Structure 1
């Protein structure tokens, strides 16, 4: 049995669906099982990371676990319960912001994920870390600006470059690690196969949607200030600093994802085509 933590979000859901399609027994921890909307055959159990009493029942009979955690979530009770339950393998979806050997880590995003990685390793359970930097689903934020026929995407850092990764490719990598041997103690940096600036991503998205989308670059300071009103300011600053650090620099591309899934990663254009329904019509 494979327990998935975060199985109703983008990456967890794709992994659950891929595991179910492969005939693997899979269970999902959810605060609201009745709203999970997962495939038939997937076991959904009520539980919460903040309620330790719900974790042991969720882990009963499970031997492997995928952890997809929201930023800032406390995994200590979960890891203690996993050790007590005799779990044999943990796969953690971590962040590409982590810098091995850095102390302190460069920002709060890296520090949080590095702390979780250390906590996972300290359990003594076999583990693998999948480090993801800029997922393609970040582009869903553009949808909020595209209502009413607006074709101008306004944001900082037009020339910030990344190698965006399709969430289905992340899921395929997670399935591979969860269901095969030879990954103990490994850390895999997952990237897409092409370096694209934010402006280039918007152009590709526009071509896919049949809309003349353009990127209008904004100064970052007022946007940081605005976002900090409803998000953790340290997190916002870390995210913007990561973007700023990629301006004018082609994104590093690794072959790790292709080696794990046995094929070339999906392109950003493929991601856009798969998500046309998530963007407003012109």
Structure 2
């Protein structure tokens, strides 16, 4: 069965393509700009812009399963094209944010919630992967590490269970290739509950770059990220960190259930990506 992987410029999508290809599974890599992809030899690419329905038919031709990113603007057209093409199974990279009480209006969860609603109403078999905080979110601190400045945190004791993107890709591989795992929703977490300050400490140990944590106000943090982060997203993140400060993050065993081994630790992620945090 040919699998279409969307969002192949992302860490999860690019890793999943390599895993499928290495395992002998037919895979097609999709991106808005396929010419910019770096793919394993022999993996074909195709233009697929989830905000442009005109790209759907060619991308889906001959496809049996899809790994789909959460872009809801034309999900109805995408699902119609998928049915026409004979797609049997869609794996959605959703978010654990949809488990919150106000997911439909939460600016972080809304797009994922809309996708899950549309796919849930579709006759296509759908599997939802709902990861929490990506380990790769730590890259937001890399410039502070490299420049020797303190890492500024509005809620240094906010806890998450950061998950390695490689674990998400391996979970996707499992549900795409084992029919027994299809049609369910999986809440994907890392193996431990860590504060933001603890994550900074693990990165400092791995990179050998001494760094301090400085607590800043909500307003100061929001101002610092305003060039790259919309205000409503920044406010939602601040509210989330406020509610999780001092409370253990939820841990699930879904990575082990899907892959047969425990989720990778954040310390292991930090060791593997230490170069990005060295002065």
Q: Could you state the TM-score of these two structures normalised by the residue count of structure 1? A: 0.92
Q: Paired residue for 1:198, among 196, 199, 211?
A: 196
Q: How many Å apart are 1:266 and its aligned residue?
A: 0.7
Aligned residue number for residue 44 of structure 2:
43
Q: Secondary structure at the match of 1:128?
A: strand
SS at match of 2:181: coil
Cross-structure match for 1:224:
222
Q: How does 1:39-188 map to 2 (within 5 A)?
A: 39-69=40-70, 74-99=74-99, 102=101, 105=104, 107-148=106-147, 150-188=148-186
Q: CA deviation at 1:130?
A: 0.5
| CA displacement at 1:74 relative to structure 2 | 4.3
State how far apart, in whole Å, the 2-side matches of 1:179 and 1:227 are: 40
- Once residues 144 and 69 of structure 1 are traced to their aligned partners in structure 2, the CA distance between those partners, rounded to angstroms, is 28
Distance 1:198 1:104 in 2: 24
Q: CA deviation at 1:129?
A: 0.4
CA drift at 1:104:
6.2
Q: Is the 8 A contact 1:151 1:212 kept in 2?
A: no
CA RMSD for the aligned pairs? 1.8
Q: How does 1:268-279 map to 2 (within 5 A)?
A: 268-279=266-277
Q: How many angstroms apart in 1 are the aligned matches of 2:134 and 2:48?
A: 27
* Structure 2 residues without counterparts, runs of 5 or longer: none
Can you list the C-alpha shifts for 1:200-245, whole angstroms capped at 9, x where unaligned? Answer: 0000000000122222111112322443454322222212212221
Please identify which structure carries the higher helix content.
Answer: 2
Contact 1:6–1:69 (Cα < 8 Å) also in 2: no
Alpha-carbon distance, 1:103 to partner: 6.0
Q: Aligned pair in 2 of structure 1 residues 131, 40: CA closer, same or farther (>3 Å)? A: same
In structure 1, stretches of 5+ residues that fail to align are: none
TM-score (norm 2): 0.93
Counterpart-to-counterpart distance in 1, 2:84 and 2:168: 29
Say if 1:39 and 1:67 are closer, same or farther in 2 by CA, change over 3 A.
same
| Rounded Cα–Cα distance in structure 2 between residues aligned with 1:103 and 1:230 | 25
Counting matched residue pairs gives: 278
Farther off after superposition, 158-167 or 43-52: 43-52
